[in-house]
Chain A
């Protein structure tokens, strides 16, 4: 419900934030209890000494409040919920665990014993169950199939910034819109912000050049968007749906926290084929569910891993599985921050300038959970890391990469083609029930290309 994203920002209360952090543990605890068929008495308080083995659910936190960087397996603690352990934190001992990947903010379910009152020795880590996939009825699928007229559903995904950090050169965007119109002709184009990145060094220096082709120079960054970028975006053909997902680094959004309200289409003078969605957004194109989130989970999730098999795996796959298991697009807490070292004094004290961050609005993190408790068919989370498209747990995870690279070189976009739902070729899995439904199996039917712009 997009209305729920229209809260006022800059008024975060510590107790509201704590309520949400507590609820996250309780919610997963219930899921674990049902999935593993445990009774409430199997769970105990890991922070107190006990003779017997217990199950516990809690959040992975550092064992000291002041160390946030350079954590390892020996410096982690488990935070309990208010109900389970009065919110106490207990050091964790992972010596008996061979393979594991952990990060701060992760909710975990473990079995073990606190023998000396000092630390909880983990004997087993219970993997969190993956959420279910969405299904459609025969009727719905036939409608979707008919709408496509036998052609595959073609979707393009781009991610800002759309101009380099040293010039307002938009010719890449211009070339791209021409190719979209005449060559690629997608059904839908999903564009992630930032369109105007407030952390762009040109803006910090005030060094925005003159726009020679404009009679009236823009006075604000909002006007730079409406006068310089909108005319290019308007060239995209009317029959192509354009979906805009905001970024918290974007000057054209006044809502600078995540979860984030949508851009204001009318204020930004965008034409009618543009749809402004919230961040994160879950939506359906035909039968396919898309989950889009615009905070860099792939960069911010700093994992601590143990075991050869775990660390040998592709890191993006591990992070993707964490996202699915946690059922949230950005499960890292506290959120990532980006700072710049300004100076180091003689006594080694470092002075930093804050640049940007995940800007989490903690009391509203509930809005960043998977809608309806099922996993989208395709999850798109743009990242500064290398672009990729991978299938994990039957979900397609995509990072389209930046539209313009760091050095101003052409970047990439993602092109997704999904063949229409065909009941004949056996690509859809039937789920028996009073009314039979079908799994979409989009991962079997889709092809994702990462293309240089």
Chain B
């Protein structure tokens, strides 16, 4: 749905941490040892390292080729888009709550009697934020400024013992600029087609006709 649910701050003013609080991680699997891990940009991780010539799996020291990352990114984006189009619907009433893919000819009307309204469970806003999150992972500026959403909480048992210094992140970002840009272009391919990004003037000025 495209309604505004209650009061919300302007989209452009909220921070990335707030914006990305519900997004799913980008899970990569290593083509060599088939272990899988969450990729969170150029950060310290116990699963992977970003070295001067690319991304390396910590378990087997396999160095990913750009295509081995970008193809997984593309498939991950596409499964999110496909899940969005599966059109799961949820009722706003917490006592109703069963998920369905049935749509009434009145759209927002719940098919169980007496409920207030329904909406898409995976909203276009959630999908847009998910794409923006993937975009941020490969954004050189955000990597350098340490503005990425952390993968886990600091008190998590999995958290990496060694932290990367700001200086080394800057250097690594520059050394991997091409790799980051390749992957960013994959996210941009879909962001450029995303209807949420563009204001639908026709719809806003509908009332004037």
Most chain A C-beta atoms within 10 Å of own C-beta, residue among B71, B78, B186, B200: B71
B72 touches A337 (CB 8 A): no
A9 touches B195 (CB 8 A): yes
Residue of B nearest to A14 (CB): B107
Q: Which of B10-30 contact A (CB under 8 A)?
A: 28-30
Complex interface: chain A residues within 8 A of B195 (CB) = 7-11
Cα separation A7 to B104 with both chains bound (whole Å):
24
Q: Mark B96-115, 1 if CB is under 8 A from A, else 0.
A: 00111111111111011000
Contacts between the two chains (Cβ within 8 Å), count: 186
Cα separation A82 to B107 with both chains bound (whole Å):
11
Q: Which of B90-139 contact A (CB under 8 A)?
A: 98-109, 111-112, 118-120, 124, 127-128
A79 touches B105 (CB 8 A): yes
**A35 near B: Cβ within 8 Å?**
no
**B2 near A: Cβ within 8 Å?**
yes
Q: Which of B163-204 contact A (CB under 8 A)?
A: 182, 185-186, 189-190, 192-198, 200
B85 touches A206 (CB 8 A): no
**A400 near B: Cβ within 8 Å?**
no
Of A43-51, A216-224, A368-376, A401-409, the segment with at least 4 beta carbons within 8 Å of chain B is A216-224
- Find B1's partner among A13, A87, A205 (CB 8 Å cutoff): A13
B68 touches A10 (CB 8 A): no
Most chain B C-beta atoms within 10 Å of own C-beta, residue among A61, A65, A205: A65
B86 touches A12 (CB 8 A): no
- Evaluate whether A18 and B107 lie within 8 angstroms (CB atoms) in the complex, with A204-B72, A357-B86 already known: yes
Residue of B nearest to A201 (CB): B75
Residue of B nearest to A80 (CB): B105
Cα separation A358 to B85 with both chains bound (whole Å):
8
A14 touches B108 (CB 8 A): yes
A218 touches B67 (CB 8 A): yes
Complex interface: chain B residues within 8 A of A254 (CB) = 189-190, 192-193
**A244 near B: Cβ within 8 Å?**
no
Closest Cβ of chain B to A383, distance in Å, is 19
**B83 near A: Cβ within 8 Å?**
yes
Complex interface: chain B residues within 8 A of A89 (CB) = 111
Q: Mark A208-230, 1 if CB is under 8 A from B, else 0.
A: 10100000011111111000000
B196 touches A10 (CB 8 A): yes
Cα separation A353 to B82 with both chains bound (whole Å):
11
B190 touches A21 (CB 8 A): no
**A303 near B: Cβ within 8 Å?**
no
Closest Cβ of chain A to B180, distance in Å, is 12
**A255 near B: Cβ within 8 Å?**
yes
Residue of B nearest to A7 (CB): B195
**B46 near A: Cβ within 8 Å?**
no
A359 touches B67 (CB 8 A): no
Complex interface: chain A residues within 8 A of B185 (CB) = 220
Q: List 30 A-B contacts (CB under 8 A).
A: A9-B193, A10-B84, A10-B196, A11-B2, A12-B85, A12-B87, A14-B1, A17-B87, A17-B103, A18-B106, A18-B108, A89-B111, A198-B75, A199-B75, A204-B72, A206-B30, A206-B72, A219-B66, A219-B67, A220-B70, A220-B71, A249-B78, A254-B189, A257-B85, A334-B102, A334-B103, A335-B86, A353-B79, A356-B79, A360-B87
Closest Cβ of chain B to A90, distance in Å, is 12
Closest Cβ of chain B to A95, distance in Å, is 25
B74 touches A198 (CB 8 A): yes
Chain A: interface size category: 35 or more
Looking at chain B's contact residues, the main secondary structure is mixed
Residue numbers of A with Cβ under 8 A of B are: 7-15, 17-19, 21-22, 25, 61-62, 65-66, 68, 79-82, 87, 89, 198-199, 203-208, 210, 217-224, 248-249, 251, 254-257, 334-335, 337, 353-362
Query: Known pairs A66-B98, A254-B189. 14 more at Cβ < 8 A?
Result: A8-B194, A9-B194, A10-B190, A19-B107, A21-B105, A61-B102, A205-B31, A205-B72, A206-B71, A206-B72, A221-B74, A334-B101, A334-B102, A354-B83
Q: Mark B49-88, 1 if CB is under 8 A from A, else 0.
A: 0000000000000001111111110110011011111110
A87 touches B193 (CB 8 A): no
**B209 near A: Cβ within 8 Å?**
no
**B5 near A: Cβ within 8 Å?**
no
Most chain B C-beta atoms within 10 Å of own C-beta, residue among A61, A206, A361: A206
- Find B79's partner among A248, A335, A355 (CB 8 Å cutoff): A355
- Find A11's partner among B105, B107, B194 (CB 8 Å cutoff): B194
Closest Cβ of chain A to B18, distance in Å, is 21
Closest Cβ of chain B to A38, distance in Å, is 22
Residue of A nearest to B189 (CB): A254
Closest Cβ of chain B to A107, distance in Å, is 12
B124 touches A10 (CB 8 A): yes
A8 touches B198 (CB 8 A): yes
- Find A203's partner among B72, B109, B112 (CB 8 Å cutoff): B72
Cα separation A257 to B111 with both chains bound (whole Å):
26
A219 touches B70 (CB 8 A): yes
B109 touches A204 (CB 8 A): no
A18 touches B75 (CB 8 A): no
Cα separation A334 to B71 with both chains bound (whole Å):
29
Cα separation A335 to B71 with both chains bound (whole Å):
26
Cα separation A252 to B113 with both chains bound (whole Å):
44
Residue of A nearest to B200 (CB): A11
Residue of B nearest to A23 (CB): B105
Closest Cβ of chain B to A149, distance in Å, is 44
Complex interface: chain B residues within 8 A of A9 (CB) = 81, 193-195
Complex interface: chain B residues within 8 A of A62 (CB) = 102
Closest Cβ of chain B to A218, distance in Å, is 6
Cα separation A25 to B106 with both chains bound (whole Å):
13
- Evaluate whether A12 and B81 lie within 8 angstroms (CB atoms) in the complex, with A87-B109, A220-B74, A354-B86 already known: no
Closest Cβ of chain A to B97, distance in Å, is 10
Cα separation A338 to B193 with both chains bound (whole Å):
24
Cα separation A416 to B28 with both chains bound (whole Å):
44
Complex interface: chain B residues within 8 A of A354 (CB) = 79, 82-83, 86
- Evaluate whether A206 and B31 lie within 8 angstroms (CB atoms) in the complex, with A14-B120, A198-B74 already known: yes
